[in-house]
Each structure stands twice: as C-alpha cells, then as structure tokens.
Amino acid sequence: MTSNKPPRIAFQGALGAYSHEACLQARPDGIPVPCTTFEDVLSTVRDGRADLAMLPVENTTYGRVADIHRLLPQSGMHIIEEAFVRVRIALMARPGTTLDQIKHVRAHLVLLPQARSFLDTHGITSEPAADSAGAAEELATNGPAHEGVLASSVAAKIHGLTVLADGVEDLDHNTTRFLLMAPNADHTPRGEKMMTTFVFEVRNIPAALYKAMGGFATNGVNMTKLESYMVGGSFTATQFYADIEGHPDDPAVKRALEELDYFTNMLDVLGVYPAHPHR
C-alpha cells in the first residue's frame, strides 16, 4: 500500500453501516469496500481487492461480536489500530416525510431494542432487517412514505434520506470497538500508550492459567481483556484472547510474555497498536 494513495478499507455491511463510520474515523480519505460477511472482509484484503480490514470486536452493551475471535488467529492479518464508535441511532425517512407520518420502521435486530422508548412514545411499530444501512438503501429506492429506518446518520447522508430524529437510543453509552487490520504487522512504537493483543492456549497442567496470568500481575502489566473460547469442536481445547497495555519490547511486558510462553502450547501476537484516546 503506497502512502500517497487512499487506502481501500473492507468492512461488513452496506454503505452507511457503523463499520463504515469506523472506517471514516480511522481513514477519512479511505475508499470503503462493503462486504457481505466477516469472512468476505478478510478474503477481500488477502486477494488484494482492499488494503485494510475494519472489524467490530466488542460492544459495551452486547459484549463480544460472534465469530471474530475465531476468525482473527487464522486470518493472516495484523491489528494496526483500534477505533471506538459511539452507536448513535437516527430515525430517517424519504425527503418530504415528517415524524408524525412515520408509522413503521425497519432496522437490524440489535438496534430495535435500543430505541424502544422512542418508538413506544411515538406509537411506531418495528420490523427487523438484515442490515440497517441496507434497509436505508432500500427505503431510498422504493420505500413507502410512512416508513422509516433506524441507522447511522451516515447512512442517511449516503442514501439521500432525511434525518427526522437523531440520538433516539435509550442508552447514551453504547459503543462498539473496532480493529483496523492489515496484511503486514507494524510493531513500531506509536503514541504515548501502546496496546498488545494476542491469543494463547495453556498447557494441560494443573493451574496452568493461574500460573500464566501470574507473570502479568508480578510485572505490573495491566490486562484489559481476557476471554476464552473453544476451538476445534472440543470441550478441552480452549484458547484465550487477551489485550494488555504496553509494547512487547517494554521490559515488564517482555518478562510477562516470556513467563506466559512457558505455560502455553501456542502464543500468537495478533497486533501491537496505539491505544485509542477513548480508553
């Protein structure tokens, strides 16, 4: 990827999705490349049709995003940045439509409960859609005048819809964390604070996880995330996904990782990247 050429960023969803919003935040000059599935996002980068991949990894309300932890270790990709997108929900409709005319809305199944108070207050019924941004595109093309869509305001701008109400979500803290990934790793120190993400599998010995985690405690390394997930259809083969503060070359982090390596069958660093200011 050349430095003087806008990067092509693959993401899951239609133009105007929250993943697209994350792309705009990370690379305002980037060229968005919509994809159908998370697997398509990764293959699009591997095939050279995009330079970077933007993937959601967790949400403050709904927890981790399904399948991402399973896909990352085998993706051949490396985390180079993180992005946090505040999930602001806008009610949009075709131009000329007023709020009192809206009787029904469509949105992704996850968004609908987040705007329940607003919908109930205005007597608006709802229907799940496969994709909120996709629903916005469909509404702009041939949707009825009395129907609206709940999605990001970016979707309204892209598809020529009018925002009738913004910030209709019940919770004012709902945020999704995204990972910006590239084919090549970049472990150079960047910024005042760095993060390191890795996956590992502990050895089959008593108290292996307890002993592996001890190295981070004794060396004063803050672990901000630790999640387990089964692999290979086995109840015994468990992998762990972890985020820690610091760079692998920091003396304390280096000692902690060396101690972790002693108690693991597998240890794979997925990325070293600057901590986002949202942290």
* 52 membership: H or E segment, kind and range: strand 52-59
DSSP string, 193-212: -EEEEEEEEE-SSTTHHHHH
Catalytic residue among 118, 178, 200, 263: 178
Counting Cα atoms < 13 Å in the Cβ hemisphere of 198 gives 23
Of 27, 39, 40, 64, residue with least CA distance to 243: 64
Q: Structure tokens of 91?
A: 């009610």
**How far is residue 219's CA from residue 247's CA, in Å, rounded to a whole number?**
13
CA dihedral of 61, 64, 67, 68, whole degrees rounded to 10: 120
What CA–CA distances, in Å, run from 149 to 24, 140, 200? 21, 10, 42
Catalytic status, residue 178: yes
CB 200 within 8 A of CB 241: no
Residue type, 136: A
CA nearest neighbour of 133 among 18, 51, 268, 262 = 18
Distance of alpha carbon 87 from alpha carbon 84, whole angstroms: 9
Catalytic residue among 176, 196, 197, 264: 176
Q: List the Cα angle 146/148/151 in 5-degree steps.
A: 175
Residue 176 a catalytic site member: yes
Distance in angstroms (rounded) separating the CA atoms of residues 39 and 127 = 27
Active site residues: 176, 178
